[in-house]
């Protein structure tokens, strides 16, 4: 499907890289641009194009927080709860956030606005609790957060929807 839908872009991507497998990131980006996440079929297609194992491609998708293998709401709220952040209360923060928003980790609010995700280190370990908020390609970082500040942000996002 990718090759069928984007032959010129794929040709241009391959032209930039002397080694085929180096094109994996832009090809994943291209696949994600379609639906907001990367479907299994696209990973298989990319793996075949690059002569990689599909598990290698899936591992890249799994490693980077900017790639997604599942559909989500308009915003992805990605909270780091890796050990250094957990020591600064990120686990409790995430638990309370889920309670306040009314979803479990990985779920999306019924209005389709926010998906809560847990992620590994975002590079701000001394400023936890923190999360990144993704809307398509746009990412904002929110550090030294608490539930009150976060719910204010959620309310603002909800109001902007109306
Ligand atoms: S461990 Fe959470 S930002 Fe580094």
What is the Cα–Cα distance from 23 to 43, expressed in whole angstroms?
Answer: 13
Q: Is there a single domain that holds both residue 59 and residue 79?
A: no
Residue 51 zone, left/alpha/beta (φ > 0; ψ -120 to 50; rest): left
Mean pLDDT within 136-148: 95
Domains held by the chain: number = 2
Look-up of token digits 């370990």: 125
Distance CA 157, CA 94 (A): 18
- How confident is the prediction for the chain on average, in pLDDT? 96
| Ligand 1 neighbourhood includes 128 CB (under 6 angstroms) | yes
Phi first, then psi, for residue 59 (nearest 5°) are -65, -35
Q: What is the CATH number of the domain that holds 128?
A: 3.40.30.10
Q: Is residue 110 part of a domain?
A: yes
108 in the same domain as 53: no
Reported as a single tens digit per residue, the pLDDT across 98-109 is 999 999 999 999
- CATH code of 50's domain: 1.10.10.1590
Q: Identify whether the C-beta of residue 118 lies closer than 8 Å to the C-beta of residue 94.
A: yes
Is residue 122 lining ligand 1, measured as CB closer than 6 Å?
yes
pLDDT tens digits for 9-63?
999 999 999 999 999 999 999 999 988 999 999 999 999 999 999 999 999 999 9
The domain of 30 spans: 2-63
What pLDDT does 161 receive? 86
pTM of the model: 0.89
Say if ligand 1 is within 6 A of residue 85 CB: yes
- Kindly state whether residues 107 and 52 are assigned to the same domain: no
For residues 110 and 149, state if they share a domain.
Answer: yes
Query: Do residues 17 and 53 both lie within one domain?
Result: yes
**pLDDT surpasses 90 at 136:** no
Q: Which of 65, 81, 84, 91 to mutate to test the pocket of ligand 1 (most atoms within 8 A of CB)?
A: 84
């Amino acid at each position: 499907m990718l090759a069928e839908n984007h032959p010129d872009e794929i040709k241009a991507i391959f032209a930039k890289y002397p080694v085929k497998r180096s094109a994996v990131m832009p090809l994943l980006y291209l696949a994600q641009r379609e639906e907001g996440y990367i479907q299994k079929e696209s990973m298989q297609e990319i793996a075949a194009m690059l002569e990689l194992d599909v598990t290698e491609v899936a591992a890249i998708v799994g490693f980077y927080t900017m790639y997604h293998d599942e559909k989500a709401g308009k915003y992805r709220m990605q909270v780091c709860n890796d050990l250094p952040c957990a020591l600064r209360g990120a686990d409790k923060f995430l638990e309370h956030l889920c309670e306040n928003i009314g979803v479990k980790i990985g779920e999306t609010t019924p209005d389709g606005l926010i998906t809560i995700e847990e992620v590994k280190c975002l590079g701000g370990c001394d400023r936890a609790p923190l999360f990144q908020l993704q809307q398509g390609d746009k990412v904002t970082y929110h550090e030294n957060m608490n539930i009150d500040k976060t719910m204010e942000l959620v309310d603002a996002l909800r109001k902007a929807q109306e």
